[in-house]
Structure formats: structure tokens, C-alpha cells
Chains A and B, each alone.
Chain A
Amino acid sequence: MATKINKLLLLILLSVLSIAGFASSDAHTVQEEDLDQESVFNPGEMIMHHIADSHEWHFFSTASFHGTLPLPIIVYSKGKGLSVFSSSNLTHHGVYDGYKIHHEKIFAVDAAGNEDASIKVYDFSITKNVASLIISAILLVLVFTAVAKGYVKNKGKAPSGVQSFFEPIVAYVRDEIAVKMIGPKYERFMPYLLTIFFFIWFNNMLGLMPGGANLTGNIAVTLMLAITTFVITTINGNGYYWKHVLWTPGVPLPLRIIIMPIEIIGMITKPFSLMIRLFANITAGHIIILSFIGLIFLFKSIYIAPLSVGFGLFMTFLELFVALIQAFVFTLLTAMYFGSAVEEHAGTDHDHGH
């Protein structure tokens, strides 16, 4: 059904979108140079600014206009209590309600405007990443309630609409990941596996869009995903799991005592590697693309642009692929850990000494 006009429109749309992704980064660096009149372009700072969390959501800047969405700042300190205000009050080194911000860190100031190090400030703000998390959560809920409604509406009929797009993916997660790795008890873990698969995939993709926030490249987010996996694995560990970890059967006794601390550390390092793998893959991808764009400004020459945009385009396609792969690998390894936790006594490699 894809007519020639449709194909042409799709091609134009994709080309425009890929250009727009770089335009936002370019426009932002122009603003950086406006602030410091004749200073050298600092690529490290530009990259860190795009990757790190921020108390305002910066979309683009022109020479005179900053397209920024100020996000609410919610701070608590013992003397002043809870303060909620817009981050636009703190721009350009402003002081508001006794607080000041420097490099995305909020600290309390005394009457003279100097930092008061004795007041501990607890920052609960809605930062860019938190706002992106809320948006992606709403998006996931919308998409999957639409899919679920499709199943009610098409009861007994062929799937249609968004349901037909997600059904093979959900079936793939169930058949190739859950059933193969966990075995007969897979149904208990399916909600969590599907959630992390689509959560990581959607957030990776949203981070690649122009104006997107780098959510899965935030190590705190991946830490929570890894901690949740660890908690579920540990809670669901049955007798055989703990026996294999603490007192591995089938090996001589001195080796068992050596293996025990190694296995206990292994219980921690497995989710740790999940956390680092996702964080590093996504952040490294963003850094590479930003570096290519930064090259243009480093050389201060437009002739670098074809090279930069070409490599940047290739890296962006690779990053789209990596977005899916990282979601898949995270889900697969999580399923493997669940499988090892609920595995029944089916192996014949245990010794007969006990």
C-alpha cells in the first residue's frame, strides 16, 4: 500500500528529522560562545552539558532567544523547610529564597550571597531526567493500554493497529527470552521482563530524538533497574539457588570454601554489570555523536560539516540499533538470573556425598 508519494514523503520526513537532531546541538553551542565572549570552545563542557541531568529543559537557542523549559525546583533544608519554585528564578547566578545553583548543584547562601556550607540541601527537584521519566511512563501506559484494548476489541479476530505491531515483540520476549531462560515458571516474571524491555527501548529511543533527555544514560536510573533485578532474583531464589551460591555441590570441600565468597560477590557483580553495560553503551553513543558535532566548532570551519554529519548520521543509525540490542540484552540477562534462581533440581552433576 506504500505508494510512490508515500515513500517520497517518508524519505523527506526522515531526512528532515535527522538534520533536526544535529541542528539543536549546533544552536546550543552558539549560545555557549555568546556567554563567554572570546573564550575557546570547550568540547568537554558541551558534551557533559548535553549528557548530564539539568534543572531546566533546554531545547534550542538562537542568538537572542533561548528555548528553555524551566522545571520546578523542590528543595528541603532543615532551617527553611520545603521550597518549591521555578528554576527560572535561579538562572544567571540568581539567588532565590536563599538558594543558588552552580553547575546543576543547588546550595544555600547566606545573606551576603556566599555559600553556606553548614546547611545541607536535599534536592528533590523535577529535573530533566525526572520529567523525561514521567513522560516516558505516560507514553508506555498509553501505548500498552491501547494494545490491551485491541485484544478486547478484536476478541477472536486478527489483531489490528498498534496491537499488531507489539504482539510479535511481546511473543518474542515470551518465547525466546522468558520460556528459554526461565522454564515452566516464566509467567510470574513476564510483567517485569516486558516492562524493562520496553522501558529501556523507549527511553533509549527518546534520548536519541532532538530535544530528548539522556535518561538511560543516567547511572542512577540503571542502578535502580539493576537493584530491582537483584531484589527479584534474591526474593525468588529457592533452595537450590542458595545451595549453589553458598555451598556449591559437586566440587571438593576446600574449593567450596573458596567459591563461597566468590559466588556471593558474583551475586552483586551481575546486576552491577547490567547497570554499567546499559549506562556506558547509551552514554558512549551520545558522546560520540556530540563529539562529531563538536568537531565543527573546534575547527571553526563549515567544511568539516559534511564529514561530521556523515559520520554522525552513521553513528545515529548504529545507536538506534544499539538501543534495541541493549534492551534485549538487559532483558535476556535478567531472565537468565531469574532462571538460575528458580531452577529446579534437574541436573545430574551433583555429587552423591550428600
Chain B
Amino acid sequence: MLNSIFLVDGLALAGAGIGAGVAALAAGLGIGRIGSSAVESIARQPSESGKIQTAMLIAAALIEGVALFGVVVCLLIALA
């Protein structure tokens, strides 16, 4: 993987790296928004915090799944 000398190989690896970075960025943005709205809702209604926490975790896991789709694709580019 580190021994490729052709420009195309190098560009593919660079693309994979940038893709994984963008996926991480998008996941961070999305889960940040979920986290912020969850914390705000808990501040409004502390008694419902259990349900809100559960909903937050589910939404975060779903978004993370999508981001990891991107990471898996980038891994496939980089390693194959």
C-alpha cells in the first residue's frame, strides 16, 4: 500500500483519505446536532431524560452506520 509509485494509485489513496475525513466530518456534524437537541430536551423536561437518552443513542448509532458506510468504501479503495 505504501509502495505505489503511479500517479493514479496516489490519487486513489488521496481520494480515500479525503473521503474518510469527509465521512467523519459529516458524522460529527450529525451526531453533534442530535446531542445538542437531546441535551436541550432534557433541560426542558428532566423527568423524560431516560426516553430522550434512548432516542439519542438510537439516532446516533444510525447516523454512525451511514458514516461507516463511507469509511468502509474508503478502506476498500485504499486496500484493494
Chain A residues within 8 Å of B, Cβ to Cβ: 42, 44, 48, 176, 273, 276-277, 279-281, 284, 325-326, 328-329, 332
Q: From residue B22, how far is it (CB to closest CB) to chain A in Å?
A: 15
Interface residues of B in 38-80 (CB under 8 A from A): 54, 57-58, 61-62, 64-65, 68-69, 71-72, 79
**Which residues does chain A contribute within 8 Å of B57, judged by CB atoms?**
325, 328-329
Q: A332: nearest residue on chain B (CB-CB)?
A: B58
Once A328-B57, A329-B58 are accepted as A-B contacts, the answer to whether A280 and B79 lie under 8 Å apart by CB is: no
CA separation between A279 and B64, bound complex, in Å? 12
**B71 interface neighbour in A284, A325, A326, A332, Cβ under 8 Å:** A284
**6 A–B contact pairs at CB < 8 A?**
A281-B68, A284-B68, A284-B71, A328-B61, A329-B57, A329-B62
**Which residues does chain B contribute within 8 Å of A276, judged by CB atoms?**
65, 68-69, 72
CA separation between A332 and B79, bound complex, in Å? 32
**Which residues does chain B contribute within 8 Å of A328, judged by CB atoms?**
57, 61
Q: Quick check: A273 and B72 within 8 Å, CB to CB?
A: no
**Which residues does chain A contribute within 8 Å of B71, judged by CB atoms?**
280, 284
Chain B residues within 8 Å of A, Cβ to Cβ: 1-2, 54, 57-58, 61-62, 64-65, 68-69, 71-72, 79
Q: A280: nearest residue on chain B (CB-CB)?
A: B68
Q: Quick check: A325 and B61 within 8 Å, CB to CB?
A: yes
Once A176-B54, A280-B71, A328-B57 are accepted as A-B contacts, the answer to whether A44 and B2 lie under 8 Å apart by CB is: yes
Known contacts A284-B71, A329-B61; can you find 16 more A-B pairs with CB under 8 A? A42-B1, A48-B79, A176-B54, A273-B65, A276-B69, A276-B72, A277-B65, A280-B68, A280-B71, A281-B64, A281-B65, A325-B57, A325-B61, A328-B57, A329-B58, A329-B65
Q: From residue B74, how far is it (CB to closest CB) to chain A in Å?
A: 11
**Which residues does chain A contribute within 8 Å of B54, judged by CB atoms?**
176
**Which residues does chain A contribute within 8 Å of B79, judged by CB atoms?**
44, 48
Q: B72: nearest residue on chain A (CB-CB)?
A: A280
**Which residues does chain A contribute within 8 Å of B72, judged by CB atoms?**
276, 279-280
Q: Quick check: A277 and B68 within 8 Å, CB to CB?
A: yes
**Which residues does chain A contribute within 8 Å of B61, judged by CB atoms?**
277, 325-326, 328-329
**Which residues does chain B contribute within 8 Å of A281, judged by CB atoms?**
64-65, 68
CA separation between A279 and B71, bound complex, in Å? 11
Q: From residue B41, how far is it (CB to closest CB) to chain A in Å?
A: 18
CA separation between A279 and B54, bound complex, in Å? 22
Q: A279: nearest residue on chain B (CB-CB)?
A: B72
Task: Give the interface centre of B61, B62, B69 by most chain A CB atoms within 10 Å.
Answer: B61
Q: From residue B76, how far is it (CB to closest CB) to chain A in Å?
A: 11
Task: Give the interface centre of B1, B57, B68 by most chain A CB atoms within 10 Å.
Answer: B68
Q: B60: nearest residue on chain A (CB-CB)?
A: A325
**Which residues does chain A contribute within 8 Å of B2, judged by CB atoms?**
42, 44
